[in-house]
Each structure stands twice: as structure tokens, then as C-alpha cells.
Structure 1
Amino acid sequence: MDMLNVMTTFVRVAQAGSLSAAGRDLGLSQSAVSQQIAALERHLDARLLRRTTRQMTLTEAGEAFFQRARRILEAVAEAREAASGQSGALRGPLRIHAPVGLGQAQIAEAAISFQKHHPEVVPELILDDRIADLTAEGIDVAIRFGSLPASSLVARRLGTLTRVLVAAPSYLARHGVPADIGELGRHRQVRFNGAPGGDMIPLLGPQGLVEVPVPTVFKANNAHALNLALIAGLGLGGAQMPLVRRALAEGRLVRVLPGVAYPALEVHALFPDAGYRPARVQAFVDHLRAETHLLWAAAPEEADPRVAPAQAVRPDPDPVRQRRRGGEPPTRDG
């Protein structure tokens, strides 16, 4: 039995959650994958997988073998890279997880240009807005923005993501342009599903952090869908500056209350753990930071309205709940 080959198959099955998905990733038929797993279980005299009609999970023995096999495969990959390090060529698979909005454009472009520079690396870009399990899914690096919960993941800061309040000219023509934060309560908003504050819009201006209740007329869990709703004139709302720069330049969207902005979101590259990290993963993150640094390093008036001339802000104490404090609160994607 080629133990390294079989371990590779088993680890991919555990990460993919099914024989068929692992087979697609490895270029094997489902029956070939099944035969390898069966042979491994016979060799170890242990049941590694628990199969039902709906799902496949690891047994206790399977979980223990998975963790050890994964570390062995990482050590083998590290040894191979060290042995071939003189050539300077990067090679191998690179699984990248990113949110859909930024992933469709900036992260995808960075992955494409990285592959052109390193033709023996095979990037696999996984785009969705959920919180992925990096270890279980075999993800090398994940791009996330917003506050990071305590975990064993290793984070590298890439920068900050600026969000601004925008609306379509057609919406403002119908509903008027708010003169200050207090007038936002008479408008309606487009926002992310499950935003921490619900209908509250948090804005950072010269007087500190202000939260305004604004009725919601449209929600989505995808930045592109929200931007479409904003451009269509359904309401005003927060938008990620890298995703709406073109719409702002073309006049399809305009800044509302340009003297204020949403609290900035930290952008991080996350790695499964502090152990071995393939050179191609580190090289990709370096490349990503170099390619996108202008996106994260916004102009001063975008990053913090307190450093630029701002419109007068006169919060209405009735609909507005205002807090003044030094730090910015944790925020979620959106």
C-alpha cells in the first residue's frame, strides 16, 4: 500500500465531506476513492468513517488519524519544498476562501496574476460569505474582514476596508438629500442580513460614533446584491468603497453626508494554525497585499472623516443614540 497516497485521499475525503467531492478534487472516480478508504480501514483494523444516507462523518479513530495524517502530509510537503528550494519555483495547490463581493474582483484578480507569476501553483478560489472551517475544509488561507473571534487561527493584517454611506441620484431626487445625521431617520435603508445593530446605522463623524435608526426596505447576504439595490434607488446604505468606486465615478451612486463614514473594518488573512505554512501560501499573501494595498489604504477623507472638512453634523437627540468613546466597536462584514 502506498501509505502517503492513501493518506492524501483520506485527508481530502475528511475535508470535502464526501467521496465524490474528494474524487473530483483528486481526479479519481468515486469507486477508486472508496476502494482506497476501505483498504486503509482494513490495514488499520479500524473504522474511520461513519456513513449515513445524508452525510459522512469521522469516527473517533478517524478524527485522530486525520489530525496525524494531515501533519505528516504537511511535513512531507515541507521537506519537498526544502529539497527543491534552490530552484525557487513554487508549486502545488492553493485553496483560498474569500467573501463573494471582494472575492469576485480583487481577490480573484490577485489569484490570477499570482498564477501567471507561478505557473506551477494551482489556486482554488472558494467564494461565499460564510465562516469556513479552515482545517476541516483544507483551506490554506481565508480573507476576512470585521472583528475576529478568539480561535486557534493565525491572522495577518492586510489593512482596513472603508465603508461609506451612498445612494442613487434617483432615490435622493424622490426622498431628498439629508442635511445631517438626524435627518436619516426619515429615510429608508438597504443593508446586510443579520447586521449586528439591525436597523441602526453606525456612523463615525467629527463628533464621534452616532447610531441612527433607519427603516429597512431591502436585505441581502451579498454585497453585490446590495449594491444593485442601491443603484436601483431602493434606499440609501453602506457600501464597501472598493466595490462602489466605479459607480461613484460614473454617477450611478453618490456619497451621502460625505463628512461621515461607517467604522472601518479590519481586513485579515487567516491561516489554519501556527504550524508549517507552505512557501506558496506565504508568497500568495505577500502578493495579495502588494496587489491590493491601495484598496485597503484609502484616502484620508475615505478612511476617517474627522481628518477632512465635513458637513455640519447636528444629531437629533430623539431618534439618534450617540456614544462618544475612543475605540471603534467590532463590526461584521457589510
Structure 2
Amino acid sequence: MDRFAAMKTFVRVAELGTLSAAARELGLTQPAVSQQVMGLERHLNAQLLHRSTRRLALTEAGEAYYREVRAILQSVDEAEESVATATIGLRGSLRVHGPVGFGQMHLSPAVIEFQRLHPDLVIELVLDDRIADVIAEGVDVAIRLGELKSSGLIARKLATFERILVASPGYLAEHGTPQSPDDLIHHRHVRFAWTPLGEAIPLIGPAGPVTVPVRSTFLANNAFVLNDALCAGLGIGGAQVPLVKAHLDNGRLVRVLPDHAYAPLDIHAVYATSRFVPRRVRAFIDHLSTSMARIEGLHMIHKPD
């Protein structure tokens, strides 16, 4: 038994929860994955997994072994990188996860440019508005917008941006321009299909925070669809400034209630551990920070040199 390979397989089984998922990711058959894990159990004379028809769970011994083995594998990666010199290009794989709207418009060009700079890397970009499980899904860097929940992950804050209320000039000419947040209830509203407050929006104005009821008539789960709906005159809605800056500049959209806005959104790069951050991950986050400094509508936390 190749004990090192079996240890790597066991860690992914523990994190993904099924033999089949680990087999797909590792390019192995499910019986091969099962044999490696059982080989470890025989070697250790201990049961590492509780097996059921649906999902695997770690035993108490498996939990302890997982923590130790994961640290060992990270140390091996760290040792291998420590002998690399600046003349050695970045190698290996890099899996990046990000939200659809910001990802498609601004993250994907940065990722494509990074791959051109480092052709020996294998890069996978996953755009999805859900919150990915960084460890279970093998994500090296996740780009997240908004407030972060406590998760045990490491986050580097990159930038912030505004979310404002906008509408098309045609809509305002036909329906009038609201003069106060309370006027929004008399207008058609365009919004994301899932929002914490539903038919209400939280704004910040000169007098502080205010929650305003709205009447939504068009909903979607994609920022580009919502922006198209706003440009088409379907109503008033919130927009991320980096995604609509061009529409504001060319007059397709105008700001509504300029004294009020949503709370600014933070952009974080999230990764699994601070003990050992692979060189490719550090390099990508630095590259992303430099790329984002060129995006209009973003306020960078630290200006790149």
C-alpha cells in the first residue's frame, strides 16, 4: 500500500463525505478508494469511518487521524514549495469560486490573465451565487461579497463597493422620480428573487438606517438579468456600482434617491488555512488585488504597488 497516497485519499473522503465523490475528484474508481481507506484501517488497526448507504462519518479515531494527516499533508506541500526558487513557474491546480455577476464581469478576466501568466497551472473557475464549502469542495480561493460568517476560514479583505438605487430615464419620465424612500412603495421594484427582507429594502441615508417597503414586480436570480430589466424600464432597483458603471456613464441608468444607498459590500478572498498558503494561492490573490484596482466603482483596501 502506498501509505502517502492512501492518506491523501482518506482526507478527501473525510471532507467530501462519500467514496464516490472522492473517487470522481481523484480520478480513481470507487473500489480503489475503498481499498485505500481499508488498507489504512488495517495498518492502523482502527476503524476510521462509520459506513452507511448514504454518507460516511468519521469515527472518533478517524477525527483525530484526519486532523493529524491533514497537517502532515500541508507540511509536505510546504516543504516542497520551500525548495522552489523564483525562477520556477507556478504549477499544480488552482480552483477559484466566485459569485456569478461580479465573477463573469470582473473575476473571469483576472483569472484568464493569471492563467496566461502561468501556463503550467491548471485553473478551474466556478461561478455560483451560493456559498461554497471551501474545504469539502476543494476550493483554493473563494471570492465572497458581503459580511462573512464565522467559519474557521481565513479571509483577506480586498475592496468595498456601493450598491445604489437606479432606474432608466424612460421609467422615471413615465412614472415620476421618488423624492423620499417612502415613495418607493408607489413604484415598480426590480430585485433578486432571494433577499433576507423580502418586500423591503434596507437603506442608509442622512438620518441613518431605514427599512423601506417596496412592491416587487420583476424578480430574478442573476445580476445581469436584473440590470437588463432596469435598463428596459421595468422599475427601480438596487445595483452593484461596478456592474452598472457603464450604464450610468452612458445614461441608460440614472441614480435614484442619491442621498440613500444600501450598506457597502465588502469583497473578500477566502481560503482554508493561514498555516500554509500555497505560493499559487498567494500569487493569485496578489494578482487579483492588482486587477481589481483597475475596476471603476471599487474602493481598494490596500492600493497595490
* % identity of equivalent residues: 55
* Secondary structure at 2:234 match in 1: coil
- One-letter code of the match for 1:271? Y
TM-superposed deviation, 1:193: 4.4
Q: TM-score, normalised by structure 1?
A: 0.78
Partner of 1:85: 85
**Aligned equivalents of 1:289, 1:53: Cα separation in 2:** 45
User: What's 2:272 paired with?
Assistant: 272
Task: Tell me, yes or no, if the aligned pair for 1:160 and 1:296 is still in contact at 8 Å.
Answer: no
In the other structure, the counterpart of 1:44 is: 44
Worse-matched range after superposition: 170-179 or 73-82: 170-179
The 1:94–1:184 alpha-carbon spacing in structure 2 relative to 1, beyond 3 Å, is same
Distance, in Å, in 2 between the alignment partners of 1:228 and 1:62 is: 51
Correspondence 1:89-108 to 2 at 5 A: 89-108=89-108
Q: Where do residues 295-334 of structure 1 align in structure 2 (5 Å cutoff)?
A: 295=295, 298=298
Tell me, in whole angstroms, the C-alpha distance in 2 between the residues paired with 1:222 and 1:151.
26
1:38-66 per-position Cα deviation (integer Å, ceiling 9, x unaligned): 32233223333334333333333333322
Q: 1:159–1:296: 8 Å Cα contact kept in structure 2? A: no
Give the distance between the partners of 2:167 and 2:51, measured in 1 at CA.
51
Find the counterpart in structure 1 of residue 159 from structure 2. 159
Correspondence 1:202 to 2:232: no
Letter in 2 for 1:224: F
2:131 aligned residue: 131
Q: How large is the Cα RMSD of the aligned pairs?
A: 2.7
SS of residue paired to 1:134: coil
- 1:256 aligns with 256
Cα displacement string for residues 99-132 of structure 1 (whole angstroms, at most 9, x for unaligned residues): 2222223222212211211122222223222233
Judging changes above 3 Å, is the alpha-carbon distance between structure 1 residues 52 and 171 closer, same or farther for their aligned structure 2 residues?
farther
Cα displacement (A) at 1:10: 2.0
- Contact map agreement 1:166 1:254 (CA 8 A) in 2: yes
Give the whole-Å Cα distance in 2 for the aligned partners of 1:281 and 1:264: 26
Correspondence 1:150-299 to 2 at 5 A: 150-249=150-249, 251-295=251-295, 298=298
Distance 2:136 2:64 in 1: 13
Q: SS where residue 294 of structure 1 aligns?
A: coil
TM-score normalised by structure 2 residue count: 0.85
1:181–1:91 distance in 2 versus 1, CA, 3 Å: same
Instruction: Tell me, yes or no, if structure 1 residue 116 matches structure 2 residue 123.
Output: no
- Offset of residue 204 of structure 1: 3.5
